[in-house]
């Protein structure tokens, strides 16, 4: 297994390209968080005392993670689909004929990168968000007891989405199919769900990956959503199911 | 060495490889010959564990590919030269391969040197010509210094200089005692490169023998030109010779030049040319794969 890990790690090198992924993830998180926080700060003068009391300073600061997740998921997807589309996967299987080990090594190495990028993205987005919200005194995130949980939730959310990307890429093998599915689940599904009658929305919404992510990064609990860690567990379940399907197809169907 | 036993692969109703058995010995270049679509690549992929056979087995040094601990140190393969990430540099492509089997990083530079690509080590593979990609693929096959090598259509996309290089290179690898198994649909190329042949057609084994033995299988004929062909045809037909007309000449099978010369003298015919026609590897291949009768019977009928 150590050789397989070394192979996948070496494929990520030279780190120029990989560090661009990390930079893109952090950049997306910071810029979207900054826009949302700035918009909130601009509206602060219209807020009532009650509004201020219930203001989710952490959740708003981490809004950018919802954009960063697209970069991380694509990073995971492309790790597999680029090998299948170029045919390089057969060279990989020549070097390591045990295909499930290749999948495991991909998962581990890419999750490591996603973990670093995720931590950077969550921290940077939070700091930038708090600074901007601080201009109107809404930077109470620093002192919140929810802070460590929300940051950890954000990192785990990004990690899981990277793993899900690897699994979807291994299952579908083409970039177009895997990215379309990923984007549909993360971006399109939440929009479609909103069209449904409210009673249905409340039952369906909690199962959406994007809602699970937002829930994990929020200081507030929504009775219609899973609790942060239960939600991430559900998301982990999706990842495991997809991985099982991907592993089955990888072992059974030749490249 | 490579051993293939009763290998069979079906895709839907089509049997691509059919009960194929042969062995490939070390120390010489063995050509794997067959028309396009005859199952060469599928067979190579089954030897390399990339395609699961429906029946039978293929082993490298006594073990199936998936049982090999460090596979690219035991068997090197070039299957598809285009199977590289275009954004990677040549050296990076070889480095990850080296890492995959715990091979020293320096081997990556050495392998590039062996195929003459050291000058472009740092260039992205996406900008490589097909010939350069072939060379990189060969470097990848050699990185683990394996005793067994499989090259699938290695001369595709190479220029004449490159073809000559690869021909000598493969012979050199065989001289070092390695098993070299090279597939091609170009018979003339195999005649120059290989000493042993495995010939398949429609997934079945046609022959597994030396190039000489295979060429000898094709009927060698005698060519005869004469202004008095009609008299000679009659005389030969009485003797029971197989013959057919080829332009203004006769092609005769089953009689030696001496016998035919004596016969011509007996009927008093003038002879312009009487020459042995050596069958080429290509002729042997055509005769054994296609149905020979396609061009023979009509002219035989005309001659009789």
Residue B222 confidence class, pLDDT cut points 50, 70, 90: confident
B92 pLDDT above the threshold of 50: yes
Cross-chain residue pair A87–B82, CB shorter than 8 Å: yes
Asked if the model's pLDDT at residue B300 lies above 70, the reply is no
At B242-286, the pLDDT tens digits run 888 888 888 888 788 888 999 999 989 999 999 888 777 777 777
Quote the Cα angle for A147-A153-A154, to 5°: 95
Mind listing the pLDDT tens digit for each residue in B171-192?
999 999 999 999 988 877 888 8
Task: Domains for chain B: give ranges and CATH numbers.
Answer: 2-214 (3.40.50.300), 217-303 (3.30.70.790)
More confident residue, B241 or B145: B145
* pLDDT for residue A64: 92
Residue B290: per-residue pLDDT: 60
Residue B299 is predicted with a pLDDT of: 40
Query: Among A68, A58, A32, which residue's Cα sits nearest to residue A159?
Result: A68
pTM: 0.84
A7 contacts on B by Cβ (under 8 Å): 96-97, 99-100
**Which residue from A minimizes the CA distance to B125?**
A86
Which one of B58, B83, B91, B126 would you mutate to disrupt binding with A, by most A Cβ within 10 Å of its Cβ? B83
* Nearest beta carbon to residue B83 from set A4, A10, A91: A91
Task: Say if residue B194's pLDDT is above 70.
Answer: yes
Residues from chain A that touch B60, judged by Cβ atoms under 8 A, are none
- Which of B89-120 are b and which e, b meaning 16 or more Cβ less than 10 Å from the residue's Cβ? bbbbbbbbbbbbbebeeebbbebbebbebbeb
DSSP state of A223: T
Tally of domains within chain A:
1
Range of the domain at A49: 2-252
Which residues from A are below 8 Å from B77, CB to CB?
Answer: 94
Residue B298 has pLDDT above 60, yes or no: no
* pLDDT surpassing 50 at residue B295: no
CB-closest option in B48, B65, B96 to A11: B96
Distance separating alpha carbons of residues B66 and B78, to the nearest angstrom: 17
B249 touches chain A (CB under 8 A): no
Is the minimum CB–CB distance between A244 and chain B shorter than 8 Å?
no
Q: Which value does ipTM take for this structure?
A: 0.84
| Residue A94 distance to chain B (closest CA, Å) | 7
Any CB–CB contact under 8 A between B83 and chain A?
A: yes
Q: Nearest chain A Cα to B46, which residue? A: A254
- Of all residues in chain B, the percent with pLDDT exceeding 90 is 53
Give pLDDT, residue B244.
81
- What is the pLDDT averaged over residues B131-141? 93
Among partner residues B50, B97, B140, which is closest to A255 by beta-carbon distance? B50
**Per-chain mean pLDDT for chain A:** 91
- Picking from A94, A96, A105 by the largest number of B CB atoms within 10 A of its own CB, the best residue to mutate is A94
The answer to whether B27 faces chain A, any CB pair under 8 Å, is: no
Predicted local confidence at residue B41, as pLDDT: 92
Which residues in chain B touch residue A20, judged by CB atoms under 8 angstroms apart?
none
Identify the CA nearest to A215 among candidates A66, A40, A67: A66
A98 contacts B66? CB cut-off 8 A: yes
Residues of chain A with pLDDT under 70: none
């Amino acid at each position: 297994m150590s050789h397989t890990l070394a192979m996948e790690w070496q494929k990520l090198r030279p780190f120029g390209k990989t560090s661009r992924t990390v930079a893109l993830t952090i950049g997306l998180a910071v810029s979207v968080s900054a826009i949302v926080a700035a918009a909130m700060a601009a509206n602060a003068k219209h807020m009532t005392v009650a509004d201020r009391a219930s203001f989710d300073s952490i959740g708003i600061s981490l809004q950018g993670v919802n954009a960063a997740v697209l970069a991380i998921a694509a990073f995971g997807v492309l790790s597999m689909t680029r090998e299948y589309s170029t045919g390089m996967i057969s060279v990989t299987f020549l070097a390591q004929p045990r295909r499930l080990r290749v999948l495991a090594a991909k998962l581990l190495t890419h999750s490591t990168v996603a973990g670093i990028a995720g931590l950077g993205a969550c921290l940077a987005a939070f700091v930038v968000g708090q600074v901007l919200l601080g201009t109107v005194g809404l930077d109470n995130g620093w002192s919140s007891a929810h802070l460590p949980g929300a940051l950890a939730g954000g990192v785990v959310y990004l990690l899981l989405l990277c793993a899900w990307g690897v699994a979807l890429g291994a299952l579908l093998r083409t970039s177009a199919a895997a990215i379309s599915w990923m984007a549909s689940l993360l971006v399109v599904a939440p929009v479609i769900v909103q069209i449904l009658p409210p009673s249905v929305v409340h039952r369906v919404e909690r199962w959406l990956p994007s809602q699970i992510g937002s829930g994990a990064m929020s200081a507030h609990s929504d009775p219609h959503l899973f609790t942060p860690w239960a939600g991430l567990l559900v998301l982990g379940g999706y990842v495991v199911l997809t991985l099982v399907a991907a592993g089955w197809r990888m072992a059974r169907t030749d490249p | 060495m490579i051993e293939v036993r009763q290998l069979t692969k079906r895709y839907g109703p089509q049997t691509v490889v059919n009960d194929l058995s042969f062995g490939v010995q070390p120390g010489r270049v063995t050509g794997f010959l067959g028309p396009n679509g005859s199952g060469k690549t599928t067979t190579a992929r089954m030897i390399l564990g990339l395609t699961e056979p429906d029946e039978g087995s293929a082993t490298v040094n006594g073990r199936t590919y998936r049982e090999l601990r460090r596979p690219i140190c035991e068997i090197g393969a070039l299957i598809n030269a285009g199977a590289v990430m275009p954004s990677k540099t040549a050296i990076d492509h070889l480095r990850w391969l080296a890492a995959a089997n715990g091979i020293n990083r320096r081997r990556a530079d050495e392998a590039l040197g062996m195929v003459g690509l050291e000058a472009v080590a740092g260039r992205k593979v996406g900008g490589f010509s097909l010939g350069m990609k072939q060379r990189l693929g060969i470097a990848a096959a050699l990185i683990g210094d394996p005793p067994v090598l499989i090259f699938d259509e290695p001369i595709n996309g190479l220029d004449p200089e490159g073809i000559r290089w690869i021909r000598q290179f493969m012979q050199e690898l065989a001289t070092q005692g390695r098993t070299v198994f090279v597939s091609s649909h170009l018979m003339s190329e195999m005649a120059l490169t290989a000493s042993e042949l495995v010939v398949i057609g429609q997934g079945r084994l046609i022959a597994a023998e030396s190039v000489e033995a295979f060429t000898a299988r094709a009927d060698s004929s005698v060519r005869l030109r004469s202004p008095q062909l009609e008299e000679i045809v009659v005389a030969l037909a009485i003797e029971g010779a197989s013959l057919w007309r080829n332009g203004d000449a006769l092609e005769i099978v089953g009689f030696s030049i001496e016998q035919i010369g004596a016969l011509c003298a007996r009927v008093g015919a003038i002879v312009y040319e009487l020459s042995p026609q050596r069958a080429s590897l290509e002729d042997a291949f055509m005769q054994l794969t296609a149905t020979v009768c396609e061009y023979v019977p009509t002219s035989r009928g005309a001659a009789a």
